[in-house]
A and B are shown apart, each in its own frame.
Chain A
Amino acid sequence: AQTVTQSQPEMSVQEAETVTLSCTYDTSESDYYLFWYKQPPSRQMILVIRQEAYKQQNATENRFSVNFQKAAKSFSLKISDSQLGDAAMYFCAYRSNTGKLIFGQGTTLQVKP
């Protein structure tokens, strides 16, 4: 069975600085997809970024980028130029061919002004 681990329950960053959230996963599948979702206090899960496992190039979406290390089964999220609106809980998720998402435990990000 696949598992996803986020080892940082809480992180904080100064506004305008850069922060990296860690995620590792375990799988025996070769083809899968990885996602980072953001959940603000409103509860709405918002897609931040996604990565196809067959792509070596790291995904980037504006201030958000990932460091995908397939051999190490690592998928970290880097947020550059952090903004107050980035404060939320961030979830790393794995999707296999069965379709369902398997989530990590989440990391609460605090952004300090």
Chain B
Amino acid sequence: GAGVSQSPSNKVTEKGKDVELRCDPISGHTALYWYRQSLGQGLEFLIYFQGNSAPDKSGLPSDRFSAERTGGSVSTLTIQRTQQEDSAVYLCASSLGGQGPTDTQYFGPGTRLTVL
């Protein structure tokens, strides 16, 4: 079946502009995660959605970052007033949800964001 998809693949924006990154999880996966991969910070957790529960936003670096998940499926990560330090690859992952060993996260190809 189809894997996790993300769009756009690459995004170049100017400092101060807002950007939206999209993630389509694997069908039937109730859990969705956003991570950021940058040279200086490695791979960092940003936010986690599980079903209808309130999201775990503990990894969001500032209030310029927000995410929503509509209808329990597609998710959008929004970065307002982008800064150069926001330049990174943003990875989305989904899983079946739950705590067992079958709850493995499967990743999308990522969106490379470059802020000029």
Query: Could you list which residues of chain A lie within 8 angstroms of chain B, going by C-beta atoms?
Result: 33, 35, 37, 42-47, 50, 52, 91, 95, 97-106
Chain A contacts of B56 at CB under 8 A? 98-100
Chain A contacts of B31 at CB under 8 A? 99
For the complex, count residues of B whose C-beta is within 8 A of A. Answer: 25
A43 in complex: contacting residue of B45, B95, B110, CB < 8 Å: B110
Chain B contacts of A99 at CB under 8 A? 31, 33, 48, 50, 56, 95, 99, 103
Assembled-state Cα–Cα distance A101/B59 (Å)? 11
Asked if B101 and A100 sit within 8 Å, CB to CB, the answer is no
Taking each of A37, A50, A52, A99, which has the highest tally of chain B beta carbons within 10 Å of its own beta carbon?
A: A99
CB distance from A105 to the nearest CB of B (A): 5
Assembled-state Cα–Cα distance A105/B56 (Å)? 23
Chain A contacts of B91 at CB under 8 A? 43, 45
Asked if B42 and A105 sit within 8 Å, CB to CB, the answer is yes
Asked if B107 and A44 sit within 8 Å, CB to CB, the answer is yes
Task: List 29 A–B pairs whose Cβ atoms lie within 8 Å, in order of A's numbering.
Answer: A33-B101, A42-B109, A43-B89, A43-B91, A43-B110, A43-B112, A44-B107, A44-B109, A45-B91, A45-B107, A46-B107, A47-B104, A47-B105, A47-B106, A98-B48, A99-B33, A99-B48, A99-B50, A99-B56, A99-B95, A100-B33, A100-B48, A100-B59, A101-B33, A101-B43, A101-B93, A103-B42, A105-B42, A106-B43
